[in-house]
Amino acid sequence: MPNIKSSKKAVKVIAKKTANNHELKMRVSNLIKNCEKAITAGDNAKAKELLKDIQKYIDKAVSKGLIKENTADRQKSRLTEKVKKMK
C-alpha cells in the first residue's frame, strides 16, 4: 500500500481508468458477438445497425490505444464483408 498522498490518488486513478478501458473492450467484443449472431440468424437490419456501433466503438478503442490499428481495421473489414454477403 502506498503511503504518499499522491501515490494513493494514483492508485485510485489507475483503478478507474482500468475499469473504463475494460468496459470499452468488453463492449466491443459483445457487439461483435451480437453482430455474428445476427448474421447467423439472417437478420440483415440488425446486423447493419450493429455494424455502425461496432465501427464507432472500435475507433474509440483505437484512439485510446486499447486495440492496435491493424487489428481494428481487420475486424471492421471482416464484419463488413459478412454483412454485405447477407441476403
Grid cell in block for residue 45: 437490419
Give the contacts of 86 (CB within 8 A, at least 6 positions apart).
39, 42, 44, 47
* pLDDT averaged per 10 residues in sequence order, the chain, 87 residues: 93 97 97 96 93 96 96 96 89
pLDDT at res. 1: 84
* H or E segment to which residue 87 belongs: none
Any idea where the domains of the chain sit in the sequence?
A: 5-85
Helices 5-41 and 44-63 sit at what angle, rounded to 10 degrees?
Answer: 160
- What is the CATH code of the structural domain delimited by 5-85? 1.20.58.110
| Model pTM score | 0.86
CA distances from 76 to 14, 44, 65 (A): 29, 17, 16
pLDDT at res. 86: 85
pLDDT at res. 4: 95
pLDDT at res. 57: 97
Q: Beta-carbon neighbour count of residue 57 at 10 Å? A: 20
* Largest Cα span, the chain: 62
